[in-house]
Amino acid sequence: MNNETNTPVAESGRPKDVTGRIETEIRTYDLLDSLNIPYMRFDHEAAFTIDACTGADEVLGIHICKNLFLCNRQQTAFYLLTMPGDKPFHTKDLSAQIGSSRLSFAPPEKMEEILEEKNRAAAGPTIPARGLTLVSLEYEKELAPYLEGENKHWHYVLDQRNVPEKGLAYLTIERCEPEELDGVLRRVIHQAYRNGAKQVFVRDTFGEEGSIYGYYRLRRQPEVEEGWLEAIYEGEHQ
pLDDT digits (tens, 9 = 90+) for 59-75: 767 778 888 899 988 88
At residue 5, the pLDDT reads 44
Q: How far apart are CA 207 and CA 224, in angstroms?
A: 16
Q: Quick check: 64 and 53 in contact, CB under 8 A?
A: yes
- 3-class secondary structure, 189: helix
Identify the CATH number of the domain defined by range 63-130.
3.90.960.10
CA end-to-end span of the chain: 52
From residue 18, alpha-carbon distances to 24, 89, 158, 160 in Å are: 12, 35, 22, 25
Q: Quick check: 180 and 210 in contact, CB under 8 A?
A: no
Q: Quick check: 187 and 34 in contact, CB under 8 A?
A: yes
Neighbours of 218 (CB within 10 A): 23
Q: Quick check: 54 and 84 in contact, CB under 8 A?
A: no
- CA 120-38-143 angle, to 5 degrees, is 115
Q: What is the pTM of this model?
A: 0.50
Which residue ranges of the chain lie beneath pLDDT 50? 1-6, 237-238
At residue 129, the pLDDT reads 61
Please give the DSSP secondary-structure letter assigned to residue 7: B
Nearest of 231, 202, 237 to residue 218 by alpha carbon: 231
At residue 4, the pLDDT reads 45
Longest dimension (CA), the chain: 66
